[in-house]
């Protein structure tokens, strides 16, 4: 595992540099993307690099990790809306190559088809991840097994509480989401995880220094052959404990 530590802004810059290199080496690459607060600065940096002509998304294909059940892309809290407003509408990407799991009218079979689409596209070259306070990746919440494929999941109280900041209140946070499975994430050729903030210090330590267990879904990354962890000093403080 490659580990990079710095300030939050520099973490975003260094992550953006990984993308600059990848997109220049492989303009047709497949990116697995994430939402939430963590990647916001990275997306700002990527937009700036694209505007400066240092990278292009023209031939890139993207697959996002997850989407709330019941929200369509026009809902301001949907992850499709997030991706459009933070990245896709601001860079030279072909929107028809951007994929976010559909939040409405989806059956289990249709959700699992997302994995087939990813495979047909050649598989994910670089999967971006944040981490939830309970160790979730995508919306794979702690449970007694590692879910393999894209599926519907009930969100835990901890996740709904954490995400209430984006909604009018906790009750407004959808109770369920569609998420890539842990197997989908592990199939990516490379994983880039960004973790910032003192509130993530404990879970970062449990994920990378504790036992590999589905009760801390991110701990499975200990078995991934190519993980880059980019974190700020505040998040890293738990690793020293």
Of 99, 141, 151, 232, the active-site residue reads 141
Reading the block at residue 148, the tokens are: 């393999």
Q: Residue 53: what are its φ and ψ, rounded to 5°?
A: 75, 15
- Judge whether 72 counts as a catalytic residue: no
Site for ligand F6R in 18-57 (CB under 6 A): 34-38
Q: Are 91 and 47 in contact (CB under 8 A)?
A: yes
Residue 150 in contact with ligand F6R, rule: CB under 6 A: no
- Judge whether 171 counts as a catalytic residue: no
- Ranked by CB distance to ligand F6R, the top (closest) residue is 130
- Judge whether 92 counts as a catalytic residue: no
Site string for ligand F6R, 66-105 (x = CB under 6 A): x---------------------------------------
In the complex with ligand F6R, the residue whose CB is nearer, 54 or 224, is 224
Min CB(60)–ligand F6R separation in Å: 18
Min CB(127)–ligand F6R separation in Å: 10
- Judge whether 66 counts as a catalytic residue: yes
In the complex with ligand F6R, the residue whose CB is nearer, 29 or 180, is 180
Using alpha carbons, select from 175, 168, 169 the residue that is nearest to residue 153.
175
Spell out the residues 6+ positions from residue 186 whose beta carbon is closer than 8 angstroms to its own. 220, 221, 223, 224
In the chain, the N- to C-terminal Cα span, in Å, equals 19
- How far is 162 from 88, CA to CA, in rounded Å? 25
Min CB(150)–ligand F6R separation in Å: 12
Q: What is the CA radius of gyration of the chain?
A: 17
Of 66, 115, 125, 232, the active-site residue reads 66
Strand-pair partners of 31: 62, 126
Strand-pair partners of 177: 68, 153
Min CB(228)–ligand F6R separation in Å: 16
Cβ count near 188 (within 10 Å): 24
Give the footprint of ligand F6R on this chain (CB under 6 A): 34-38, 65-66, 130-132, 136-139
Write out the catalytic residue numbers. 66, 134, 136, 141
């Amino acid at each position: 595992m490659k580990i990079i530590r710095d300030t939050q802004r520099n973490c975003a810059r260094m992550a953006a540099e990984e993308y600059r290199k990848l997109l220049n080496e492989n303009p047709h690459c497949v990116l697995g993307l994430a939402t939430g607060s963590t990647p916001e600065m990275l997306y700002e940096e990527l937009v700036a690099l694209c505007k400066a002509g240092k990278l292009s998304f023209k031939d890139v294909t993207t697959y996002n990790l997850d989407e709330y059940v019941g929200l369509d892309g026009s809902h301001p809290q949907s992850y499709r809306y997030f991706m459009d407003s933070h990245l896709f509408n601001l860079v030279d990407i072909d929107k028809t190559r951007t994929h976010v799991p559909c939040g409405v009218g989806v059956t289990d079979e249709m959700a699992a088809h997302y994995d087939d689409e990813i495979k047909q596209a050649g598989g994910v070259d670089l999967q971006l991840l944040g981490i939830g306070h309970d160790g979730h990746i995508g919306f794979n919440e702690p449970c007694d097994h590692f879910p393999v494929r894209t599926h519907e999941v009930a969100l835990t109280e901890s996740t709904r509480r954490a995400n209430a900041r984006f909604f009018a209140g906790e009750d407004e946070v959808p109770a369920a989401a569609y998420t890539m499975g842990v197997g989908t994430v592990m199939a990516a050729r490379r994983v880039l995880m960004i973790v910032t903030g003192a509130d993530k210090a404990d879970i970062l330590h449990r994920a990378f220094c504790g036992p590999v267990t589905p009760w801390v879904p991110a701990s499975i990354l200990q078995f991934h052959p190519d993980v880059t962890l980019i974190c700020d000093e505040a998040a890293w403080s738990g690793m020293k404990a």
